[in-house]
Amino acid sequence: MKNGIRIFIVLLSVIAISFTISWKLVSKTDHAAKVAAPPLNGRYLFAAVPGVRDYLGYGGHGLLVFDIDHGHKLVKRIPFRGFHPNGQPSNIKGIGVSIPLHSVYVTTLESLQRIDLITGKLIWEKQIPNGCDRLSVAPDGRTMYLPSLESHYWTVIDCETGNIIKRLDGFNASHNTIYALSGKHVYLADLKNTVVKIADPKTNTVTAEVGPFVNFVRPFTINGKETRIFVNCNDLLGFEVGDLTTGKKIKQVVVEGWDKGSVRRHGCPSHGIGLTPDEKEIWLSDGANMRMHIFSAVEPYQQLTSIPLQDMPGWVTFTLDGKYAYPSSGEVIDVKTRKILTILKDENYNTVESEKLLEVDFKDGKPVKAGDQFGVGRVMR
């Protein structure tokens, strides 16, 4: 009996020692795997979620990074701060990148956050009075224009410190922002105005405007030379065109063959418009019919085709090379063939939908180039 007890105790000791050794080996292996994780190298799509209102079913809460050149496979999730007072994640309102500062910026209803693109760590968070909307970062990455949350002003922010440089007043409901690729102008779309105002970033003053358009201006885009602006308007299934050299509206284009119907979000039949980087096509969202309509980007703006989507689109942007289109409904579309190649998925295989996403290119772990959340034209000459 005693011998049996001794043998049992010896066996337990052996098992305990083996378990301890195995645990240490596993821990070392896990640590080594983390340390040895390769740096980002290539092209990546950064999608901020919840990027459709505060709907957590479309990817949860965080910044999701997809490998563009390897089937848009999810690479990692960067956790977010930003919560409502009730403890629920706050809507993401916009996204922008500063290459020289190695930073990605996201706005929520309450705050502006700066996150390190290399480490994924939060550098700072600024609580903004009257909230935030869709920001735009200057091409040199040093300043940004930050709209208040449908209040009466835009704020010019230092991208490194988050400090306020200047405030531009005189708006009805500050909303969408595009900093031109030239760095010479910033386009400010007031949610309750029929014109788009244009600021000079050298003086941080409004110096011009374009319009009026048929109704309040919603999403819009511009070409690289800054001669044309294409705008969505309330109650219009289609778009209007403005001449940025004269400040006048010159054209209205209505989607043919489809009724504008009712939409679940935004209250606008076409909420989302983008120019392909080569400026050959205009891609237009159709919320009620859950489609992306494609037009020629030169007069008479011929309607070319329509692509059915899995959900209501509220935005569209493209890769820098124009190969892929990203409607906010989660599809990855081959621009040339019009084919849906895949659907963005998170680590739980849920569809990822976001109106706040853009491309960031890396070389040996460092960001070298970034796209834009807006589908803007990139022909500069």
User: For the segment 175-227, what is each residue's pLDDT rounded down to a tens digit?
Assistant: 999 999 999 999 999 999 999 999 999 999 999 999 999 999 999 999 999 99
Mean per-residue pLDDT for 297-302? 97
At 19, which helix (H) or strand (E)?
A: helix 2-35
Mean pLDDT of 40-48: 98
Express as a percent the part of the chain with pLDDT over 70: 90
Q: Is the pLDDT of residue 335 over 50?
A: yes
pLDDT band at residue 87 using 50, 70 and 90 as cut-offs: confident
Using the CB atoms, write b or e for 188-205: b if 16+ within 10 Å.
bbbbebbbbbbbebeebe
Nearest one of 277, 365, 265 to 325, comparing CA atoms: 277
Give dist(CA 241, CA 250) in Å, integer. 6
Q: For the domain 38-370, what is the CATH superfamily, name and number? A: YVTN repeat-like/Quinoprotein amine dehydrogenase (2.130.10.10)
Report residue 190 as tokens. Answer: 């007031």
Return the minimum-mean-pLDDT range out of 3-17, 85-99, 304-318.
3-17
- Estimate to the nearest angstrom the gap between the alpha carbon of 83 and the chain centroid: 19
What's the pLDDT score for residue 14? 37
Mean pLDDT confidence for 300-308: 98
pLDDT tops 70 at residue 13: no
Per the model's pLDDT, the better-predicted residue between 259 and 22 turns out to be: 259
Say how far apart CA 62 and CA 75 lie, in whole Å: 13
Tell which residue, 180, 164, 192, has the closest CA to residue 224: 180
Residue 63 confidence (pLDDT) above 60: yes
- The pLDDT value recorded for residue 6 is 52
Given the structure tokens 């309750």, which residue do they identify? 192
Q: What pLDDT is stored for residue 51 in this prediction?
A: 97
Per-domain boundaries in the chain: 1-37, 38-370
**pLDDT range class, residue 81, cuts 50, 70, 90:** confident
Residue 116 is predicted with a pLDDT of 98
Contact 145, 178 (CB under 8 A): no
Question: Looking at the DSSP assignment, which residues form a beta bridge with residue 187?
Answer: 178, 198
Question: Could you give the 3-state DSSP secondary structure of residue 5?
Answer: helix
Q: Is the model more confident about 263 or about 38?
A: 263
Return the H-helix or E-strand segment holding 7.
Answer: helix 2-35
pLDDT above 60 for 11: no
